[in-house]
Chains A and B, each alone.
Chain A
Amino acid sequence: MLNRRQFIEFGTKSVTAYALADTLANFEVFGQQAVVPRNTAKTCIFIQMIGGPTHLETWDAKPGAWTPPDLDIRSYTGGVTMSNKLFPMLSQHASSLVLLRSVEAWEAAHDRAQYYVQTAYAKNPAFQRERPSLGAVVAYELGQKKRPSEVLPSFIGINANPIGPGFLSAEFAPFNVGSGGNGIGTLVHPQGRDRFLRRYSMLQDLDQSLRASPYDKEMQDLGNFNASARSLMYNDVVDSMFRYTTAERDRFGNSGFGNACIVARNIIKADMGARFVTIMHGGWDQHNGLFNLNNGGNIYNQGRQFDMGIGPLMDDLKASPAPAGRTGSLFDSTLIIAMGDFGRTPGNLNSGGGRDHYRNVQAVLMAGGGARGPKVIGQTDANGARIIDFGWSQQRTIRMEDITATMYSALGINWTKTIGDTPSGRRYEYVQYASHGLYSPVDEIF
């Protein structure tokens, strides 16, 4: 029976139980194929469009009998189409976009669909405790050997509560922050910085022997978290990441999503250890009143809010240099993915003037980080109801597993890996059946 084992090196001092050695979490690899990940991106910004956006009005835009005249869907090179009314700023980046239009969702219910998008696995209570989210896997793979300046956690959630690290361990848990703009509450000490520094050095002195010989791995981890917490506090660079001026906030549309884009941009620009940043943007579950001006949640408002966040985000990333060791702009090293739970019913609107859940067709946006636009992969029929052209080598619908493999490949992670040992004894495949070639990256995006 496999017990949970982590290969941890400990010093063999006779008196102490454990030594505070330089320990890395290192799960046993039970298989991987000799694939070559593309390694085009250093970080990933994963935008979850909560509720499942209509594909016909977003990333698979095409006019039909249902389209109001003002939607102004325009065509760009490479087959890219986009509503200029909803996404004017994003349209300016049309040449950078890769739109996947032959995607099929596994689930039609929000909870299960969102779980699938975050983990590339079906939600199952038997595995729930163990399964890590994609961000945690990225943190495990890429975020362990940090330089001293890399004080940020590898996996950050903004306006999000992503699924955790499962069996991988706490250090790969998401660091969740709000986009409030006043900094993070607990990054400052209520009695002020000087008092904090005095208290913290007293704490260091008192804990000296415990840090040298902690009772157990968990205590050792805590010691590391203490140090991480300290390095995040009163760090002007870190603090500035979570603050913005009114002017900046307005530039990004003065919304929760826009603010989150500011914070994400700051985090990516700072290049201080974050590798996977996820933002959750709600409001896409538009069953009614899609084009109804009396409906506050209509697609005009929703699209505009999204556009005013992602547009300037892309502008700023393109205007910043790539991280050390990489060429091009920061945008070229940052893979942006925007996708939701599933697609929405095609063709004419429903009786409430909206669209309902639709599993068969979904559309996903990718940009930057190696995704070479302008490009459209796959095609649906005139109503957006059926996929008539798969558009990639596997000649089947694209699934979340493939999207995950694509993201891992872009980040330089071998998506065919299988690791153990989970507490249940099961092995964890980064992408299910990828080692058998059943799912694979959509290489066409590169």
Chain B
Amino acid sequence: MRIPLLMSSLILSSGLLLQGGDHDCPAYPASMWSFNAENLEYQARSMGLMMVKLAASVPDKGFTAALSRQNFVDEFIFNRLDAEGVQPAGLASDEEFMRRITIDLTGRPPDVDQLISFLADQSSNKRERLIDSLLNSDAFVDRWAFWLGELVRNTTASGNVSLPGRNALHKYFRDAMQNDVPFSTIASDLIRASGDSRSNGPVNFVVRSYSQGDPVQDSWDDFTANISNAFLGVPSLCVSCHDGARHLEPVNTYLSHRKRRDFWAQSAFVAPVIFNRIQIDVVGNTTIEVSDRPAGAYTVNTRGAVGQRPLRSGGPYTPVYMWTGERPASTNYRAELARIMTSDLQFGRAIANRVWAHLMGVGIVDPVDGFDLERYDTQASHPELLNALASDFMQNGSNLRHLIRTIATSTAYQLSVHYPGTWKESYRRLFARKLVRPLEAEEIHDSVLQATGIQNLYFVDGIDQPLSWAMQLPDTNEPRRSNDALSFMTVFGRGNRFDALRTSDSSVLGTLSLMNSAFVTNKIANQGSSWVARLLQMQISDDELLDRLFLQTLSRKPTAGERQAATARRGKSRTEWAEDLQWALLNKLDFLFNY
């Protein structure tokens, strides 16, 4: 790193003196120092320099000395914290850790018996063993099959994907997660898929982009944009309509230098694709078949309908991988695209960044589909770390479990949410503490079920077995047959994976729903197999009952203040007290967050 030398010239040229940087120097008040530090950081960043150390002479306070470094993730995160003189939080407690990792990996909090035995376990490597057991669980397969469905937006809402097709793609993802299929293989299967969309799962990723009635080039372009968005994290859709220049300068420097012709050359990789909609029965149901022409460059022949984009020109375009300039080695273009892309470091960066964002609260590059390849070093909060994660991932068979494990076993992932000191917004991108993440609609649904012990059974068309958890559902328009559950999740911003985007923002309607909807209140009563009912039948004290309710719902015991507050409200009826407590815990502020 040639930084320190350039740094000093920067300091001098900008008139800021950071002599000694000594906090105790009376001639240099602390407030000035922190102002200069932030100002300096901003200036250096905007000049495209990566800050490893603020200045050669800033004393290394060694704030992270107390934390053990498990792997390279910790090296990067903690070295940076030391360099910037930022104190990290301490470690999360066992309760916090188990709740956090279980929600992140399975979409719901831990089963209370497993939680209790984890807390009682005295072995030193129990956190690592917990991570491994979660990675090998059925719930993990469910949740990450769902995650893949989100990534490619598998849904019947677009009209192109049929119900059987959606289910087939969902099954493909479940099988892939069950069998630990490399993510590069998954990406490749999706890009290269051919066949009947009703029966061939991956074909539905291709068919998603089909734009009936428009020139086929629009479908190719949408397909290309979907691929680059999902697997490279680059929002290339813009340059499918216009050159980047004079449009994208404030948004994405790399794309502002790209032209439509670059995009067309990229789209040429999928130009052999033919979409064929055929009727399959007398009622009028159709399916779409995808196949490749034996040879075909990207022609701009758009006779007939004008389509969704301005008229194209030039061509025919032969494929050029626009991110590196590589050309295909054969005319099997889609296969070549898959090969080139899954060998591209950006492929590793994109998925590593998405998984990082899921586990750590915000991506190293944010938003996760907004990579600016020309400004990577300043856009990414930890560019070298992301490169390392990407390489490590790709060298280890592009294995999702390996990637998740690498991040989850780091100490950086296990920091507490409580920060000892004054928190500043700038610490957020340094990951100085655990960042809070609002739960998604399906996680809220599953958490309510886990907390109350009531299992619903949802019957989804085309899937033989009834499903219990929202994370098992094939898309976000299910369970269609259970209106209570469906409207409960819709209110929490599920989106439809098509034109209604997912949001985790809380809302007044969501709050009202959690307080008053039958979906929730039916589960807290002393009846049936609810946890409240079961606990009330046990011979346990009030304190134990209270503890159990807290452990089931919030994965921890009550604080002294909470215990006092709850006990003070213990009226004459134990039943009513238990029911009220269960309700209150589901509506408690920390229930809806992963921390």
A214 on the interface (CB 8 Å rule)?
yes
Which residue of the partner chain A has the closest CB to B370? Answer: A424
Interface locus among B103-111, B418-426, B454-462, B465-473: B418-426
CA A228 – CA B435 in complex, angstroms? 25
Could you pull out 24 A-B pairs where Cβ atoms are within 8 angstroms? A1-B45, A8-B425, A17-B419, A164-B503, A170-B503, A186-B516, A189-B516, A190-B521, A198-B569, A199-B580, A199-B583, A201-B569, A202-B566, A203-B584, A210-B590, A215-B593, A219-B589, A226-B587, A229-B511, A232-B512, A423-B370, A425-B251, A426-B250, A427-B250
B422 and A14 contacting across the interface, CB-CB below 8 Å: yes
User: Does B163 sit at the interface, judged by CB under 8 A?
Assistant: no
Contact with A along B492-527 (1 / 0, CB 8 A): 000000010101011111111101111001000000
Contact of A186 among B509, B584, B595 (CB under 8 A): B509
Please tell me which one of the listed residues B435, B501, B511 contacts residue A222 in the complex, with CB atoms under 8 A apart: B511
Complex CA gap A173/B506 in Å reads: 10
Task: Check A210 against B512 for contact (C-beta < 8 Å).
Answer: no
* A147-188 interface bits toward B, Cβ cutoff 8 Å, 1 = contact, 0 = none: 000000100000000001000011001011000000011111
Contact residues in A for B435 (Cβ distance below 8 Å): 216
Known interface pairs A209-B561, A210-B590; A170-B417 also in contact (CB < 8 Å): no
Mask: chain B, 405-433; 1 = CB below 8 Å from A; 0 = not = 00000000000011101110100010001
- Whether the Cβ atoms of B588 and A206 lie closer than 8 Å is yes
B235 and A126 within 8 A (CB): yes
Contact B506 A205 (CB under 8 A): no
Of residues 124 through 138 on chain A, the ones whose CB sits less than 8 Å from some CB of chain B are 125-126, 128-129
- Given A191-B521, A208-B561, A228-B511, are A203 and B438 neighbors across the interface (CB < 8 Å)? no
The reply to whether the CB of B5 lies closer than 8 angstroms to some CB of chain A is: no
Q: Does B581 contact A (CB under 8 A)?
A: yes
Where the two chains meet, the residues of B that have a C-beta atom closer than 8 Å to any C-beta of A are 45, 235, 237-238, 250-251, 366-367, 370, 372, 375, 378-379, 417-419, 421-423, 425, 429, 433, 435-436, 438, 499, 501, 503, 505-513, 515-518, 521, 559, 561-562, 565-566, 568-569, 580-581, 583-585, 587-590, 592-593, 595
Residue among A198, A214, A221 with the most chain B CB within 10 A? A198
Contact B237 A198 (CB under 8 A): no
A64–B577 alpha-carbon span in the complex (Å): 74
B558 to chain A, nearest CB (A): 8
Residues in B neighbouring A205, C-beta threshold 8 A: 565-566, 568-569
For A216, the closest partner residue in chain B by CB is B436
Chain A, 1-29, contact with B by CB distance < 8 Å: what is the 0/1 string? Answer: 10101001010101001100000000000
Q: A211 at the A/B interface (Cβ < 8 Å)? A: yes
Contact with B along A283-311 (1 / 0, CB 8 A): 00000000000000000000000000000
Chain A residues proximal to chain B, CB less than 8 Å: 1, 3, 5, 8, 10, 12, 14, 17-18, 111, 125-126, 128-129, 153, 164, 169-170, 173, 175-176, 184-191, 195-196, 198-203, 205-211, 214-216, 218-219, 221-223, 225-226, 228-229, 232-233, 423-427
Residues of A within 8 A of B250 (CB): 425-427
**Which A residues are CB-close (under 8 A) to B425?**
5, 8
A229 to B517: give the CA distance in the assembly, Å. 13
Tally of contacts, chain A with chain B, CB under 8 A: 159
| Chain A residues within 8 Å of B238, by CB | 126
| A176-B512 Cα distance, complex, nearest whole Å | 12
| Contact residues in B for A196 (Cβ distance below 8 Å) | 515-516
Assess whether B436 is in contact with A209, with CB atoms less than 8 Å apart. Answer: no
Q: Are B512 and A424 in contact (CB under 8 A)?
A: no
The answer on a CB contact under 8 Å between A203 and B588 is: yes
A169 contacts B375, C-beta separation under 8 Å: no
Q: Are A214 and B589 in contact (CB under 8 A)?
A: yes
A-B pairs, top 6 by smallest CB distance, nearest first, are A170-B505, A216-B436, A205-B565, A186-B512, A229-B511, A203-B584
Q: How far apart are B157's CB and chain A's nearest CB, in angstroms?
A: 13
Contact of A202 among B251, B417, B565 (CB under 8 A): B565
Cα separation A377 to B419 with both chains bound (whole Å):
61
Cα distance A14–B544 when bound, in Å?
A: 34
Whether B521 contacts A219 by the Cβ 8 Å rule is no
Chain A residues near B235 (CB-CB < 8 A): 126
What's the Cα separation between A218 and B504 when bound, in Å? 10
Complex contact B512–A218 (CB within 8 A): no
Given contacts A206-B566, A215-B436, A425-B250, contact A153 B508 (CB under 8 A): yes
The answer to whether B565 touches A187, judged by C-beta atoms less than 8 angstroms apart, is no
Report B444 CB to chain A, min CB distance, Å.
Answer: 12
- Whether A187 pairs with B516 at a CB distance below 8 angstroms is yes
Contacts of A200 in B (CB 8 A): 515
A170-B505, A203-B587, A210-B590 given; A219·B513 CB < 8 A: no
Contact A169 B505 (CB under 8 A): yes
Contacts of B499 in A (CB 8 A): 111, 128
Q: Determine how close the nearest CB of chain B comes to the CB of A28; give it in whole angstroms.
A: 14
Question: Complex: how many Å from CA A304 to CA B294?
Answer: 59
- Complex: A202 Cα to B423 Cα, angstroms: 30
A225 in complex: contacting residue of B419, B503, B507, CB < 8 Å:
B507
Cβ–Cβ < 8 Å partners of A226 in chain B: 511, 587, 589
Among A198, A207, A222, A425, which residue has the most Cβ atoms of chain B within 10 A? A222
Which of A164, A206, A425 is B584 in contact with, Cβ under 8 Å?
A: A206
B508 touches A228 (CB 8 A): yes
Which residue of B367, B516, B595 is within 8 Å of A423 (Cβ)?
A: B367
Is the Cβ of B506 less than 8 Å from the Cβ of A424? Answer: no
Q: Would you give the shortest CB distance from A274 to chain B, in whole angstroms?
A: 13
Scoring A1, A153, A228 by chain B CB atoms within 10 A of each residue's CB, the highest score goes to A1
Asked whether B507 lies within 8 Å of A173 as measured between CB atoms, the reply is yes
Report how far A190 CA is from B425 CA in the complex, Å.
41
A1-B375, A186-B517, A205-B565 known; A211 and B589 CB under 8 Å?
yes
**Complex formed: what's the CA distance from A149 to B86 in Å?**
44
Please, which residue of chain B has its CB at the minimum distance from the CB of A170? B505
Using known A-B contacts A125-B237, A423-B367, determine if residue A232 contacts B593 with beta carbons closer than 8 Å: no
**Smallest Cβ-Cβ distance to B45: which chain A residue:** A1
User: CB distance A170 to B507 under 8 Å?
Assistant: yes
The answer for the CA separation of A211 and B561 in the assembled complex, in Å, is 13
Shortest beta-carbon distance, B115 to chain A, in Å? 20
Q: Does B508 contact A232, Cβ atoms closer than 8 Å?
A: yes
Q: Give chain A residues whose Cβ lies under 8 Å from the Cβ of B423.
A: 10, 17-18
Nearest-CB distance from B45 to chain A (Å)? 8
